[in-house]
Chain A
Amino acid sequence: MCRIFICTTCNRYAPPRADETTPGLRLARIVKAAAAQDKAIAVRMVECLNTCPNPCAAAFREPGKAVIRFGGLEPGDTSALLAAATTYAQSTDGILSPNTLPERLRSKIAGCITLGIPELARR
């Protein structure tokens, strides 16, 4: 299984009125609905993914794999995000070449963290 973490706070620096939905929450709901039929993908709606100056944000995080974060996301990236999540899930270490990602996501990679693999990996 692969989990997609999506920030529901984005845009932290332009908070909405009380009766409005944040762009991050809107994106999270769209992605969650799109992923509903795929039992291998779970969506986690979280409070922040630390790309606040570049909303909206998503991340892939699995044990023993690189952490990949995305910024600047919009609802039109949904299909690409789901496809990338599948690629990530199928990889052994999560270290993905940008060429393996859908084209519209390649410029939206906010970071790739490899701490925990392989030198400190437990699994």
Chain B
Amino acid sequence: MARTLFTNTMIFEGTGKTLVPGEVLVQGNRIHSVAKPGETLPREGAQVVDAGGATLMPGMVNSHAHPTYNNGTSVAELTNLPVEEHVLLCMHTAKLNLDMGFTALIGAASAKPRLDIVIRNEINKGRIPGPRMLAGSPELTVTGGLADDNQLDAKHPSISIICDGPEEFRKTVRMLIREGVDVIKFNNSGDSFCYPRMAAYDNPMTDAEVAAICETANNIGKRLAAHAHADSSVRQCIKHGVEFIFHASFATDETIGMLERVKDKHYISPAIAARYNTTYEAKDWGITTDVAEMIGNKRELEEGIKVMIKMHKAGIKVLPFGDYGFAWLPHGTEARDLEHFVHLFGFEPWEALRAATAYGGEAWVGKSGEKMGRIADGYLADILLVDGNPLLDLSLLQDRHALLAIMKDGQFHKPFQGRVAQEQQIAAE
């Protein structure tokens, strides 16, 4: 069994407030042992990686990923993309995610029914590089809901499957599970992205419909995620045990209190960059701040910030990343979310990094019994070496040149070439 010993490292364990000097031994696909300061680990038979004082940390986990999105400006661009080209694009995006230090993704909705599934399968077989993936379903929505782009006199394909009534949802959930999804995603709120059809604070799904989705998925042990901006959407998620609650922008104090009481059962993913970038950095695509305000996106941002500050203080697990894959928040820039968590939500840098690693890993493995997201004995060997201290400067994680090594499942995706070698390489280029 292959062994790799990382020595001369500063370790971010995944939950700690500071870096701790130490060594890490990887055996096979797991972390075998972690040496405390002053201790050393056996080197016999191991590839020794002298990290030169670099930070060693768990790989990052994106718990709200859309690897099938094409950095486009509209849903029509996604639906018009032929499936053959779309598969190739997803392959490239999967590699890009791993190149940027994301060793695991939770699919938050697939733009075509089987895209997440086939990319996940190909990665699992080792035939293409990419993060571990939980394959998301397409968005399940109702007539007139988010991602129903039809009109009475014109059909417009979208990235959703439209169902009305509990039995249509049951049948569709069963079909998607038959095809191989891991996560069932549904839209029980609107969004400014479908302005003027369904506002974010509106919930078009009945309790019976949500119950049918959740009962059917839970019955077969599949995971659940919801596009849940509205307060009633969040309450439906709590009531019916939806693990991944996306956005939650308009959750009231009372709902936050309800969530706090069951905080071990849910993860909140605000995907705040979709609001921030659309409001402030999309004018080159025609979305000025005034337009963002008109469609409601700016309000989603401002209310979302207030809610996440409260949720964080309540100890609810708020996770970074999410909804990247549009022109003004493209793939490869996800790590900027960590800055938003500090600057907008009041997280300490170590808390943001904990959310990206230990909490993200915990979310990914769910009830499987697997261990991911920490530098500890028995955990999956998904490891990054970083050229500097991300607890002092989270922006390091946005720069692929600062990611000195990337290991997934005990194998190097990006081998370590030394800290000095990295600087020389950039200078020589």
A52 touches B427 (CB 8 A): no
A63 & B401 in contact (Cβ 8 Å cutoff): no
* Residues of B close to A122: CB separation below 8 A: 342-343, 346
- With a CB–CB cut-off of 8 A, which chain B residues contact A12? 71, 330
Question: A64 contacts which chain B residues (CB < 8 A)?
Answer: 343
B395 near A47 with CB under 8 A, answer no
A39 to B177, CA, bound (A): 55
Q: Do B332 and A48 have beta carbons less than 8 Å apart?
A: yes
Is there an interface contact between A116 and B343, defined as CB atoms closer than 8 Å?
A: yes
A33 at the B interface (CB under 8 A): yes
Q: How far is the CB of B389 from chain A (nearest CB, A)?
A: 12
**A50-B281 contact, Cβ under 8 Å, with A29-B429, A116-B344, A122-B343:** yes
Asked if B149 lies at the interface with its beta carbon under 8 angstroms from chain A, I say no
**Which residues of B have CB within 8 Å of A83?**
none
Q: CB within 8 A of B284: which of A3, A5, A54, A120? A: A54
CB–CB B398/A44 < 8 A: yes
Please determine whether B284 and A50 come into contact, CB atoms closer than 8 angstroms: yes
Q: Which residues of A contact B328 (CB under 8 A)?
A: 50
For A52, A54, A71, the residue with the greatest tally of chain B CB atoms inside 10 Å of its CB is A52
Give A54's nearest chain B residue, CB to CB. B284
Choose among B327, B339, B346, B400 the residue that contacts A61 (Cβ–Cβ < 8 A). Answer: B339
What's the Cα separation between A44 and B386 when bound, in Å?
13
Asked if A51 is at the interface (CB within 8 A of a chain B CB), the reply is yes
Asked whether B280 lies within 8 Å of A115 as measured between CB atoms, the reply is yes
A residues near B395, Cβ cutoff 8 Å: 3, 5, 44, 61
Please tell me if the beta carbons of B282 and A45 are within 8 angstroms of each other in the complex: no
User: Which B residues between 90 and 144 are near A, CB-CB below 8 angstroms?
Assistant: 96, 100
Chain A residues within an 8 Å CB radius of B344: 115-116, 120
What residue of chain A has the Cβ atom nearest to residue B348's Cβ?
Answer: A122
* A47:B330 contact, CB within 8 angstroms: yes
Q: Could you tell me the distance between the alpha carbons of A71 and B336 in the complex, rounded to whole angstroms?
A: 19
B305 within 8 A of A: yes
Q: How far is the CA of A42 from the CA of B389 in the complex (A)?
A: 13
> Could you tell me if B280 and A113 are in contact, using CB atoms closer than 8 angstroms?
yes
Q: In A47-100, which residues have CB < 8 Å from any B CB?
A: 47-48, 50-54, 61, 63-64, 67, 69, 71
Instruction: Answer whether residue A111 sits at the interface, using C-beta atoms and an 8 A cutoff.
Output: yes
Residues of B within 8 A of A52 (CB): 284, 327
| Known A33-B427, A44-B395: A111·B342 in contact at CB below 8 Å | no
Please name the residue on chain A nearest to B339 by beta carbon. Answer: A61
Complex Cα–Cα for A63 and B342 (A):
8
- Does any Cβ of A come within 8 Å of B277's Cβ? yes
Chain A CB within 8 A of B69 CB: no
CA distance A14 to B305 in the complex (A): 36
Check A47–B426 contact: CB distance below 8 A.
Answer: no
Residue in A47, A52, A61, A69 with the greatest tally of chain B CB atoms within 10 Å: A47
**Which 7 A-B residue pairings sit nearest by Cβ, starting from the closest?**
A47-B332, A50-B281, A53-B284, A113-B280, A44-B399, A50-B328, A46-B398
A-B contact pairs, 6 of them (CB 8 A): A5-B398, A32-B426, A47-B332, A50-B281, A50-B282, A113-B281
Which B positions have Cβ atoms within 8 angstroms of A?
A: 71, 96, 100, 276-277, 280-285, 301, 305, 327-333, 336, 339, 342-344, 346, 393, 395-396, 398-402, 426-427, 429
Knowing that A9-B330, A50-B277 touch, tell me 11 more A-B residue pairs with CB under 8 angstroms: A21-B429, A33-B427, A46-B336, A46-B398, A46-B399, A48-B332, A50-B282, A50-B329, A54-B284, A113-B281, A122-B343
